[in-house]
A and B are shown apart, each in its own frame.
Chain A
């Protein structure tokens, strides 16, 4: 089993929790409360220890995520170079606010803090993976089509 191999890399079972949760999320898209309890049992932890990890870190999803996710940076360098305008443009185009998902579940917008790519500011991360920047309204429009 894949999870056993993850646990085996560490000195304690608990240390593998981020990797085990990531494995689940890659497979199921998001992590339900039932899955959290299963992880707790598997790692021999109280369920609260899984819950607190789920809520402390920003990269885990408790709800089904949109198909296309825009995570737009708003920290200083991006803010200096128009990050806020990019968020506004996305919001207008999609008719939702940052933190929301379109009704058809296709798109979501989040504002995030520095992703370590200030040389391409203003920037965003697409679908928790690719970094895109410097952003322009035209680039954003092309991604929405």
Chain B
């Protein structure tokens, strides 16, 4: 399998300008300035079936075609590098190992959408990736690839790196815009969508780091080639972040549509100590989980949606047979309770309530109707809020007690985990899990 982005992922190494140019870097950016009209680039990306790889999976070229031109206002490009979906760490690798690939993708995207000012919003905790990216942006300015009259083609493009300050919700695109404007990261009501009213009230293109990093490959090698790498309507490869109870956690670049079984057993080396698989989060913490017998599924946006979950950010979290599902859900819901911005009542109250119930069950204080209450809270959290955080909390919240009903009931009834015996002896023997 040919590697595209991940060929740059050499431990400890960053491909700065000299290396990147030697590898044919910035050829795609020159090509679009010399051979294409902006609209041609949008069409190319549409034909490539490139999807939004931040989580929503929206067709990238179509998103670009929604941006109104000639409104008399500038169009902005905002790159979402606020990688925060638990289980996801791929954008960090891109910015650390190959920041110029991202910058080249930004230049091409800016040209396609008539953008002259772009922002990269990187999460505040990513200090090293920020430093690599900052150096690369300085190199690109010095070389005339950013700034005035870039590549000598009479086109201006400013690029500003903006650091976040620790809030998951700022990865939601309108929360991100609010944050970039210097406010609390409260998501905005939609419509209007950012394509029409975005940053500083102007039309705005927002894309994820990984999405834009595939754009130079599409320009260099063609839309048809890219589309064929993936599955139906899901073009290309993507970076799967694999973590949890696998032998080889890490980032694996594989075709959209690859089977989950192949990711876990062939690429990530299988389950640690060859234990049995119990459950998998297929697409970041907000995705509904799969049980061990549901992993023969194609990992693309459409196939996973048809299975009642989502491809999301490509974060695969693997849980083996020693995992207590009540405690796994507790760790999950504690996250959402902590990160709910508090703007909408169903999310603010719902996530906190669920967290408290699960904590009580985990500590042995479960009550008769707890499971029903959890499922009931799901039904009022989904689809009732401004942004998708509550939906993202409701998906796992529904799937854990539904798919592991007996285990949850046992925990509520007996006040303890039916794994306690296993867990006790294992704790003596080795470093352990929840």
Chain A positions near chain B (C-beta within 8 angstroms) = 9-12, 14-19, 21-22, 43, 49, 52-53, 56-60, 74-77, 79-82, 84-85, 113-121, 125, 128-131, 136
Contact = CB atoms under 8 A, between A and B. Distances in A.
The interface centre, meaning the residue of A14, A113, A125 with most chain B CB atoms within 10 A of its CB, is A113
Interface string B308-336: 00000001010100010001100110110
B425 to A, nearest CB: 16
Contact of B183 (A16, A53, A59, A121): A53
B241 interface: yes
Contact of A18 (B83, B87, B179, B434): B179
B165 A118 contact: no
Interface of B: 83-89, 91-92, 123-128, 160, 162-168, 179-185, 200, 241-245, 249-251, 281, 285, 315, 317, 319, 323, 327-328, 331-332, 334-335, 338-339, 341, 431-434
A128 B165 CA distance: 11
A117 B335 contact: no
B182 A18 contact: yes
A136 B125 CA distance: 22
Given A22-B165, A76-B87, A12 B319 contact: no
A56 B185 contact: yes
Given A56-B167, A75-B285, A81-B244, A113 B335 contact: yes
B165 A79 contact: no
Contacts of A74: 331, 334
Nearest to B248: A119
Given A113-B86, A116-B89, A121 B434 contact: no
Contacts of B181: 12, 14-15
A71 B162 CA distance: 23
List 9 A-B pairs, minimum CB-CB distance, nearest first. Answer: A58-B166, A118-B243, A57-B165, A14-B182, A114-B86, A59-B166, A79-B331, A17-B182, A56-B184
